[in-house]
Every structure is written in structure tokens, then in C-alpha cells.
């Protein structure tokens, strides 16, 4: 594409005239700059792209976009007020604005995003709708399943728009896009024209980054504000916001929406509501009542917290996309589980062992309450809290476990550059605040592998061991290094050692004994 053609897509720009330069690629990483590249200098938390402009030019950049005042460059410089937003707008243009050719359903919230996305994907398949999906677990494009990263976050703008273009090229018509608060605040999904926006809930999370609950809320609300009821795509659907009436975010979110609103919940005032809910080890059963229908819904998913996720997906499908309620029910029944979400690990041990992704106080509460229903024995919980993230969450999660679990083992979970012992001390103080007694009702075991070994060694027949916080993730960060780690592999290894069966080796971490 020509430079002028690309730059015309920026909503805010300042430059002194542009030559007819052919652009060969767009990148925000100076290491990937080649002859003809357009380099976007983005200011990050640790690295400022403006410091690499000279390197980018040396590597062949044909032009540069950035936020700072910059002079004496040998290539054209386009100044913008927000380089992250500019990167998203350029990514959309570079890939031919693919979101305009798709029905895009965005899903955000603190908990339940991936489960809701997978439920909706199954519903669309049952409805014979050709859909793709981008979650924090993977991207599904036709027959391709692509890894989207080591940790749970929305891919960057260039990747997201690239996935959407690949969906269009594959003949898909719909896209389900899981969107984190970081992804919204950092404009990774800007310049995407959403048709439906689903919010699962907004609870305590990421206050380290957003500064306050209000800042976190504002980031989530950005997707709703993107819904322009006047900007309906050709042969498209009416814009709609799908909101959780049971969540405290409902009333303030309503005020951010100019499009149609559909709310879901268990109360009688919800547009789409669940009734006659039954929950057990075999899954969930309920009746879903809508404006002019009532259908029976069964799901293999366990835990009453999944009722909200089912309602969110059902509402988006039926009220947002116009899918028959009976087909939506069939799609919900088809999803057997989501990787790392209430996933049982069975090596023949005489107790239940589960891996779950719960990494917020609200999610941990739901996971432990569900786990309690699965056992008449003791509940043993293993989890940590991430370094360089929301510090208050450490205390809150330990408090939740002190109240709901019989034994809590506090351990590592991505300490990053913070001292692990300091993180564990804050968590221990939270457990003690709720009556926890160290050595009796809670332990501190820094190495996660040793923590799992201790948990399964302590477990008696009929008990339940649950490890939370990592779920499907494939690494753990110590310092600035990502070490291979999968809770499912680690718990399997601990159980195999316990029962004397062949199994995987316990992954090693910097805290592991020699």
C-alpha cells in the first residue's frame, strides 16, 4: 500500500506532507523492520518505541508514526496523539478493514469470557454459521487452531486484524472475539466494528493497571461505546449490548450504551432468565425463559457460576443473532468443557483432583463453592497471586479460601520481579485475618510443584484437591523469564508419583529443589 493511502485512515495525525512511498509492512517492533516498513513508535510500560526510531530507520523504515515531537529524520514522520490507537487503525487498513466483512461479537468481563466464547462458538456451529473465534487460549479459523500466547491477554492489534482477515479469506461470516480490559485500554481491538458486545461481569481485577475500579470499568465500557446503532453493516444485524442484570455493573453500563440492550440473569425482571436450576457433578440443567419462548437447557459444565455464562451466550445467539432457542440449547449441550476450567485429573487416586483458572476473588469463591459441593471430605486449595499486579487481590483471595477451604496452600503464581516471599506474606496476612492458622489451616510453600505434591500427599480418600490460577496457561514468569509450566501436567505428575504410576515429570521452576 502507498503511505498516503495508509495514513488517510488515521483519525488524528500531523505531518508536513507525504511522498508517494510504497509501504511493505507495518510493525511496532523495530527488530522486524525491513526495507519499506512503516514503523509505529509505541510507548509501553517498560520500553518506549521512540527510543528505537533511529534503529528502525537504519533497518530500512520508509516512514515513522509516533507521539513525540521529532525532527531531522531522513524519512517522513507522522505525529499522532495516541500511537496505540494509530497502530490499530493502521492494522485495520493494512488488512483491508476485515471487521466490516464479518459479524463481530465481542465478549469482555472479569470472569467467564473464554467459557462464554466457547459456548457461543458451539451454538453458531449448531446453527450452521461459519464462525471463527479469538480467545486468550487460541484462535480458531476454519480447520486451524492457533496459539494466541503464553498468558491471558488479547493479542496485539496487528495480530487481531490479521486473524480477522484470515477469517474473511476462509469464507467465515462471524467472529467471536474475547477482549480483556488491557486489550481495550491499549487499543488492541480499536478500529474493529463490533456488532454485539457481551459483558459477563465486572469485579475486582487489574486495579494495578487501571488504578481503580472506575478505571477498570471504563476500559470494559469502551466496547459498548463502540456500538453505533446508526452504523449497521450491509445486510447486517442491529447493534446490541448483552448485559448481566445480576452484576453490579449493570446499571452503570446501561448508561454507556446507545444501541439495543438485552439483559440476562436469574431474577424475574431479566429479559432472558434461568429458572429451575439444578447443579451437580453431571453438570447443569435449567429452563431459560425469554420474551416469547421457554426451553430446557442441559450442560456438562459444572458450577452454578456457569449459569451466567450460559445465559450470556444464549442471549447473544438468540436475542442478538436471531438463532432459534432450541438450536442454542443444542449448542450449549455440545460443549463438554474448556481447557483448564474445572478440569478433573484422574490417575486412579482415591480423591478428586481439579485444575481451574480462577484467578480473581470472585472466580475463586465460585470455584471453591462448586468444589465444596463435589466432596463430603475436606477441600484443599492451592493457589498464588501474581507479582506486579493488583496487590489487594492477594489479601482478598486468601480471605476467600480461609473461609471456604479446609486447607489452603499458598504458592507461586507468576511472581515476576517481586520477591515471592513478600507476596506470600501478604496472602498469609489475609488468611490470618479470617481466622486462618499457619501450619494448621494454611501453609506457605513457595515452589508450586512442591505445593501440589504436599496437597495430594495430605489428601485422604473422599477429599478434593483444587489448584487455581493457572488453568490452561503454559508458562510461569520469574523475574523476566517465562518458564514452561502447565498446572495440568504438574498435578498429573504429582498424582502419578503418589500412586506409583508412570506419568510426566514435574516441571521445574527457579524455586524447585535441586
d(CA 263, CA 255): 13
Q: Looking at residue 210, what is its pLDDT?
A: 46
What's the longest Cα–Cα distance across the chain? 75
Least confidently predicted of 180-194, 310-324, 340-354: 180-194
Task: Report the share of the chain in percent with pLDDT over 70.
Answer: 97
423-427 average pLDDT score: 98
DSSP 68: S
Span 55-104, pLDDT tens digits: 999 999 999 999 998 888 999 999 999 999 999 999 999 999 999 999 99
β-pair partners for 356: 468
Show the cell assigned to 5. 493511502
Predicted pLDDT at 139: 86
DSSP string, 82-131: -HHHHHHHHHHHHTT-GGGGSEEEEEE-SS-HHHHHHHHHHHHHHTT--E
Report the pLDDT averaged over residues 211-218. 76
Q: Say whether pLDDT at 208 is over 70.
A: no
Phi and psi torsions of 299, nearest 5°: -145, 140
> What does the domain layout of the chain look like in residue ranges?
3-92, 95-334, 343-499
Give start and end residues of each alpha helix (H) in 374-461.
392-404, 420-433, 448-458
Torsion over CA of 199, 203, 205 and 210, rounded to 10 degrees? 70
Gap between the Cα atoms of 77 and 67, Å rounded: 10
Say yes or no to pLDDT of 314 above 80. Answer: yes
- Of 169, 103, 91, 154, nearest in space to 131 by CA: 103
- Give the phi and the psi of residue 27 in degrees, each rounded to 5: -150, 150
Residue 178 has pLDDT above 80, yes or no: yes
Per-residue pLDDT band for 17 (boundaries 50, 70, 90) equals: confident
Report pLDDT for 236: 83
The cell numbers describing 301, all together, are 459444565
Looking at the domain 343-499, which fold is it?
Answer: 3.90.190
CA distances to 77, 97, 184, 421, 481 from 191, in Å: 22, 8, 11, 43, 32
Cα dihedral 444/394/448/301 (nearest 10): 120
CB 233 within 8 A of CB 144: no
| C-alpha of 257 from chain center | 22
| pLDDT tens digits for range 454-473 | 999 999 999 999 999 999 89
Q: Reply yes or no on whether the pLDDT at 381 is more than 90.
A: yes
Query: If you average pLDDT over residues 266-270, what whole number do you get?
Result: 93
What fold characterizes domain 3-92? Answer: 3.40.1390
So what CATH class is 95-334? alpha beta
Contact 171, 130 (CB under 8 A): yes
Q: Which three cell numbers stand for residue 285?
A: 440443567
Average pLDDT on 406-424 reads: 97
**CATH topology of 3-92 equal to that of 343-499?**
no
490 or 20, higher pLDDT: 490
Lowest-pLDDT range, 91-95, 148-152, 276-280, 436-440?
A: 148-152
- On the question of pLDDT at 223 being above 80, the answer is yes
Which triple of cell numbers denotes residue 51?
527510543
User: Which band of pLDDT confidence, cut at 50, 70 and 90, is reported for residue 209?
Assistant: low
Containing H/E element for 408? strand 407-410
Q: Under the phi-then-psi rule, with left for phi > 0, alpha for psi from -120 to 50, and beta for the rest, what region is 378?
A: beta
Phi, psi angles (nearest 5°) of residue 298: -120, 145
Q: Which whole-number Å values give the CA distances from 507 to 294, 479, 497, 504, in the listed order?
A: 49, 17, 13, 9
Instruction: Quick: pLDDT tens for 114-153.
Output: 899 999 999 999 999 999 999 877 789 998 888 765 554 6
Global pTM reads: 0.84
DSSP-derived secondary structure letter, 64: E
Amino acid at each position: 500500500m502507498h503511505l498516503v493511502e495508509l495514513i488517510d485512515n488515521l483519525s488524528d495525525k500531523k505531518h508536513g506532507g507525504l511522498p508517494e512511498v510504497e509501504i511493505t509492512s507495518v510493525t511496532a517492533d523495530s527488530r522486524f523492520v525491513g526495507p519499506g516498513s512503516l514503523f509505529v513508535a509505541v510507548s509501553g510500560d517498560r520500553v518506549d518505541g521512540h527510543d528505537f526510531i533511529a534503529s528502525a530507520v537504519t533497518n530500512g523504515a520508509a516512514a515513522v508514526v509516533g507521539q513525540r515531537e521529532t525532527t531531522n529524520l531522513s524519512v517522513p514522520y507522522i505525529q499522532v496523539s495516541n500511537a496505540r490507537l494509530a497502530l490499530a487503525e493502521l492494522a485495520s487498513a493494512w488488512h483491508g478493514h476485515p471487521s466490516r466483512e464479518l459479524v463481530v461479537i465481542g465478549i469482555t468481563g472479569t470472569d467467564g469470557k473464554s467459557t462464554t466464547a466457547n459456548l457461543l462458538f458451539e451454538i453458531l456451529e449448531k446453527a450452521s454459521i461459519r464462525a471463527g473465534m479469538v480467545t486468550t487460549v487460541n484462535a480458531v479459523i476454519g480447520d486451524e487452531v492457533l496459539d494466541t500466547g503464553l498468558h491471558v491477554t488479547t493479542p496485539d492489534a496487528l495480530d487481531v486484524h490479521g486473524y480477522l482477515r484470515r477469517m474473511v479469506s476462509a469464507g467465515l461470516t462471524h467472529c467471536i472475539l474475547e477482549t480483556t480490559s488491557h486489550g481495550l485500554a491499549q487499543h488492541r481491538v480499536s478500529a474493529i466494528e463490533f456488532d454485539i458486545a457481551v459483558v459477563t461481569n465486572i469485579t475486582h481485577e487489574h486495579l494495578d493497571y487501571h488504578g481503580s475500579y472506575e478505571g477498570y470499568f471504563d476500559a470494559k465500557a469502551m466496547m459498548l461505546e463502540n456500538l453505533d446503532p446508526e452504523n449497521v453493516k450491509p445486510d447486517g444485524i442491529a447493534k446490541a449490548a448483552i448485559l448481566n442484570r445480576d452484576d453490579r455493573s449493570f446499571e452503570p453500563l446501561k448508561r454507556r450504551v446507545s444501541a439495543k440492550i438485552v439483559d440476562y440473569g436469574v431474577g424475574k425482571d431479566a429479559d432472558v432468565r434461568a429458572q429451575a436450576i439444578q447443579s451437580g457433578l453431571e453438570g447443569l440443567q435449567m429452563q431459560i425463559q425469554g420474551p416469547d419462548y421457554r426451553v430446557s437447557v442441559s450442560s456438562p459444565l459444572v458450577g452454578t457460576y456457569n449459569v451466567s455464562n450460559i445465559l450470556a451466550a444464549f442471549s447473544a445467539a438468540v436475542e442478538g443473532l436471531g438463532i432459534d432457542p432450541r438450536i442454542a440449547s443444542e449448542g450449549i449441550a455440545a460443549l463438554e468443557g474448556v481447557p483448564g476450567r474445572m478440569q478433573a485429573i484422574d490417575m486412579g487416586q482415591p480423591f478428586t483432583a481439579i485444575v481451574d483458572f480462577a484467578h480473581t476473588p470472585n472466580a475463586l469463591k465460585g470455584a471453591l463453592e462448586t468444589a465444596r459441593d463435589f466432596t463430603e471430605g475436606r477441600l484443599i486449595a492451592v493457589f498464588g497471586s501474581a507479582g506486579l499486579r493488583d496487590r489487594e487481590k492477594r489479601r482478598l483471595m486468601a480471605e476467600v479460601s480461609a473461609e471456604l477451604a479446609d486447607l489452603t496452600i499458598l504458592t507461586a503464581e507468576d511472581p515476576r520481579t517481586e520477591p515471592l516471599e513478600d507476596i506470600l506474606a501478604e496472602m498469609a496476612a489475609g488468611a490470618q485475618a479470617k481466622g486462618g492458622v499457619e501450619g494448621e489451616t494454611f501453609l506457605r510453600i513457595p515452589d508450586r510443584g512442591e505445593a501440589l505434591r504436599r496437597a495430594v500427599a495430605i489428601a485422604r480418600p473422599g477429599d478434593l484437591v483444587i489448584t487455581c490460577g493457572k488453568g490452561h496457561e503454559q508458562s510461569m514468569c520469574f523475574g523476566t523469564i517465562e518458564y514452561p509450566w502447565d498446572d495440568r501436567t504438574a498435578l498429573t505428575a504429582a498424582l502419578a508419583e503418589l500412586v506409583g504410576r508412570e506419568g510426566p515429570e514435574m516441571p521445574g521452576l527457579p524455586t524447585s529443589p535441586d
